[in-house]
Structure 1
Amino acid sequence: MYNFEYKNPVKILFGKESISKLAGEIPQNATILMTYGGGSIKRTGVYDQVMAALKGCNITEFGGIEANPHYETCMKAVQVVKEKKADFLLAVGGGSVLDATKFIAAAALFENGDPWDILAAGAQVEQALPLGAVLTLPATGSEMNGNSVITRAERQEKKAFGSPLVMPQFSVLDPECVFTLPDRQVANGVVDAFVHVMEQYLTYNVNSPLQDRLAESILTTLVEEGPKVLAERKNYDAAANFMWCATMALNGMIAVGVPQDWSTHIIGHELTAFHGIDHGRTLAIVLPGVMHIKRENKKDKILQYGERIWDIKDGDADERVDAIIARTVEFFESLGVPCTLPEYDVPETTIDKIVERFKQSEAKFGEKQDMDYLEIEQILRNRL
C-alpha cells in the first residue's frame, strides 16, 4: 500500500428531519446565497424545510443550475454574490448544484485572471467562500469532497477542479429526499456511485486488502440496495443505505494508499459535453469499454471483482473477464440504464471529435498513465 495523507473536515448530519438542524451550522448574521437547480426542491417540500430552518436569516436565492452545471450560469451567480455581499453559500440539491456552488465559492474570490483558468489551466485556488450543503440526490459524493466538474456550454468543454478550500463545512443528508426523485435520477445515482468505486478499485494490486474490501462492500451494497430503492420508492432503509454508499464512494476513504484510474470519467465527460448525456449514463457506456480494452492491465483486479461481487469463478481468465463485463452491463441495464452509444443516438462522427480532442491534448490517462487517444478510440468503438 502506498504512503498517504488523509483529512476530511466535512461534518455530516444524516437522517430523518436533519434539515431542521441547519441553523446551528451556519454562522449567525451570515449573508447567505442559497443555490438550487430547476425548482424541484419547491415541489418536494425541501425548500420549505430549509426556509423554516433558516427563518430570520438573510437569504438570497439563485436557482436554475443545470444538471451539468454551466460555467456561464455559475458566473451569473458570482455576480449575485458580489452584489449582495454574500459571505456563505448553501447548496440545496444534487451533485450538480454542489459542484456549481464549489466553483462559485472559488470564482467569487479569484483574483488571478479569468476564473475559467481554475478549470482549464489548473490555476491555484487560494481562497474561497465557506459553503454548506443539503443533499437531495445521492450520486456524486460531492457532499463530502472538494471536487467539482463544470461545463462551458459555448465551447462544448467539461472540466474538473479540486481544492480542500471548497469542501463543504457540513452536509445534511436526509434519506427521505430520495423518495421523490424520478427513477431515472435514482438509477443514474446508483451507477455513478458504483463507477466512482470502480475508478479507485479496478486498477492493480498494491497489497491493500482493507481498501479492496471497503470498496467491495460499497459495490455489494449498491447491487443489493439500488434495485430496492427503485422498486420500493419509500423504503427508508434502502434509501439510507444508497445515500451513504454514494457518499462513501467518493469521500476519499477508499482512495488512500491505492492507485486510481478515472479514465471512464474523463471520456464520459466528453460525451456529456458533445451530447448532453446524463453523467451517470456516460459512465455506464464507457466503463465496459475500458474493462475490455484494458483487460490485461486490470486482469487481476477484474477477476477479483468478478469473484467477490458476482461469484464468477468458472472458465479461463479471458472467459471470466468477458462474463464479468457482461454481468456489469446486465446490472446497469437492470436499473434502466443503456450501455451503448447507439442507444443514445451518438453517431460515429462524435467519436472522431472526441478522439481528435484527446489527440490534440497529448494527454495520457489511467492508473499507469498509458492510455492515449488511440486506446480511447478503441474504447468508444467498442460501445457502438
Structure 2
Amino acid sequence: MNNFTFYNPVKILFGKGQIAGLSKEVPAGARVLMAYGGGSIKKNGVYEQVMDALKGHKVVEFGGIEPNPRYETLMQAVGLAKQEQIDYILAVGGGSVIDGVKFIAAAIPFEGGDPWKICSEKVPVTEAIPFGAVLTLPATGSEMNSGSVITREETKQKLSFGSPLTFPKFSILDPETTFSLPLRQLSNGVVDAFTHVLEQYLTYPVNAPLQDRLAESILITLKEEGPKALQNPTDYDTAANIMWCATMALNGVIRVGVPTDWATHMIGHELTALHGIDHARTLAIVLPSLLRYKRDTKREKLLQYGERVWGVTQGSDEDRLEATVQATVNFFESLDIRTRLRDYEVDKSTIQEIVQRFEERGVKNLGERADIQVADVEQILTMSL
C-alpha cells in the first residue's frame, strides 16, 4: 500500500425528512444564495422543503445551472452573489449544480483576474465562500468531495479543479428526492458511479485488499441495485443503496493508498465538450476500449475484477479478460446506455479534433502508469467507433 493522507470534513445527513435539518446547518443570519438547475426541484417538492427549512434566512435564488455547468452561467451567479453580499451558498441538485457551486464559492473572493484561471492554469484556491448541498441526483459523488468540473462554452473546454477549501460543509441525502428522476438520469448515475470506482480499482496491485474489497462491494451493489431502480424508481431501499454507493464511489475512501487512472474521464470530457454527450455515456464509450487497449498492464486487476464481480473464472487469461470487459459492456447496455461512438453520430473527424486539442494543451502521461500518450488516445477512440 502506498503512503497517503486522508481528509474529508463533510457532514452527511442521510435519509427521509433530512432536508428539514437545513435550518440547523446553515448559520443563523446568513445571506444565502440557493443555486439549482433546470427547475425540477419546483415540481418534485424539494424546493418547498428547502424554502420552508430556510424561512428564517435571507435567500436569493439562482436557477439554470446546466448539466456540465458552464463558466458563463456560473459567472452570472458570481455577479449576483457579490451584488447581494452573499456569505453562504446552498447547492440544490445533482453533481453539476454542486460542481458549479464549488466554482462560484471559489470565484466570488478570487482576486487573481479571471476566475477561469482556477481551472485553466490551476491557480490555487486561497479562499472560498462556505456552502452546503441538498443532493437530488446520485452520480458524481460531488456532495462529499472537493472536486469540480466546469465547461467553458466559448473555448469548448471542460476542465477540473479542486481544493481543501471546496468541500461542502454538509450534504443532505434524502433518497426520496430521486423518485421523480427520468430513467435516463438514473441510468447515467449508476454508470457514472460504477466507472468512478473502476478508475480507482482497475490499475495494478499494491497489496491493498481492504480498498479492493470496498471497491468491489460498491460495484456489486450497483450491479444488483441499478436494474432494480429502473424497474421500480420509487423503491426507497433501492434508491438509498444507489445514493450511498455513488457517494462512497468518490469520497476518497477507496482511492487512498492505491494508484488511480482517470484517463477515461480525461478523454470522455472532450466528447462532452464537443458534442454535449451525457458525461456517463462518454465514460461508457471510452472505458471498454481503454480496458482492452491496456489489458496487459491492467491484467492482474482485470482478472480479479472479472472473477469477483462478474464470476468470470473459465478459459484462458485472454478469454477471461475479454469476457470481463464484455460483461461490463453488457451491464451498461442493459441500463440503456450505448457504448459506441457511432451510437451518438460521432465519427473519425472528432477523434482527430480531440487529438489536436490534446496536442495543443500538451496533454500527456495519462493513466495510472503515466503511459497513455496522445497517439494512444487516438487508438482507444478508434476502437470505440
TM-score of the superposition, structure 2-length normalised? 0.99
Aligned residue runs from structure 1 range 18-29, under 5 A: 18-29=18-29
Q: Structure 1: state its 5+ residue gaps.
A: none
Residue 57 of structure 2 corresponds to 57
Deviation per CA, 1:155-194: give whole Å up to 9, x if none.
1110000111010000000000111000000000000000
Aligned residue runs from structure 1 range 1-384, under 5 A: 1-362=1-362, 363-384=364-385
* Cα pair 1:358 1:372 within 8 Å, conserved: no
Q: Residues of 1 paired with 2:124 and 2:56: CA distance?
A: 36
Q: Residues of 1 paired with 2:357 and 2:292: CA distance?
A: 22
Q: Residues of 1 paired with 2:326 and 2:289: CA distance?
A: 11
Deviation per CA, 1:87-110: give whole Å up to 9, x if none.
000000000000000000001111
Amino acid at match of 2:351: I
Q: Secondary structure at the match of 1:44?
A: coil
After TM superposition, give the deviation of residue 257 of structure 1 in Å: 0.2
Q: Residues of 2 paired with 1:73 and 1:208: CA distance?
A: 42
Deviation per CA, 1:259-310: give whole Å up to 9, x if none.
0000000000000000000001100001001101111110110000000000
Deviation per CA, 1:215-251: give whole Å up to 9, x if none.
0000000000111111111110000000000000000
Q: Residues of 2 paired with 1:304 and 1:359: CA distance?
A: 35
Q: Secondary structure at the match of 2:207?
A: coil
Deviation per CA, 1:120-178: give whole Å up to 9, x if none.
01001000000000000000000000000000011111000011101000000000011
Deviation per CA, 1:305-355: give whole Å up to 9, x if none.
000000001111111111111110000000010000010111210000001
* Cα pair 1:332 1:339 within 8 Å, conserved: yes
Amino acid at match of 2:293: I
After TM superposition, give the deviation of residue 56 of structure 1 in Å: 2.4
Q: Residues of 2 paired with 1:361 and 1:320: CA distance?
A: 37
Amino acid at match of 2:260: Q
Q: Residues of 2 paired with 1:279 and 1:102: CA distance?
A: 18
Deviation per CA, 1:45-67: give whole Å up to 9, x if none.
10001001111210000000001
Q: Residues of 2 paired with 1:8 and 1:116: CA distance?
A: 25
Amino acid at match of 1:358: F
Aligned length in residues: 384
Q: Residues of 2 paired with 1:48 and 1:154: CA distance?
A: 35
Q: Secondary structure at the match of 1:102?
A: helix
The percent of aligned pairs where both chains have the same amino acid is 61
* Cα pair 1:106 1:129 within 8 Å, conserved: yes
After TM superposition, give the deviation of residue 359 of structure 1 in Å: 2.2
TM-score of the superposition, structure 1-length normalised? 0.99
Q: Residues of 2 paired with 1:44 and 1:346: CA distance?
A: 35
Amino acid at match of 2:233: R
Amino acid at match of 2:160: A
Q: Residues of 2 paired with 1:336 and 1:164: CA distance?
A: 36
Q: Residues of 1 paired with 2:279 and 2:85: CA distance?
A: 33
Q: Which moved more, 1:208-217 or 1:49-58?
A: 49-58
Deviation per CA, 1:343-379: give whole Å up to 9, x if none.
0111210000001112233322000111001110111
* Cα pair 1:20 1:53 within 8 Å, conserved: yes
Q: Structure 2: state its 5+ residue gaps.
A: none
Amino acid at match of 1:151: T
Q: Secondary structure at the match of 2:9?
A: coil
Amino acid at match of 1:217: S
After TM superposition, give the deviation of residue 113 of structure 1 in Å: 2.1
* Cα pair 1:99 1:150 within 8 Å, conserved: yes
Amino acid at match of 1:337: I
Q: Residues of 1 paired with 2:64 and 2:127: CA distance?
A: 25
Q: Residues of 2 paired with 1:56 and 1:307: CA distance?
A: 54
Q: Secondary structure at the match of 2:171?
A: strand
Amino acid at match of 1:206: V
Q: Residues of 2 paired with 1:341 and 1:364: CA distance?
A: 24
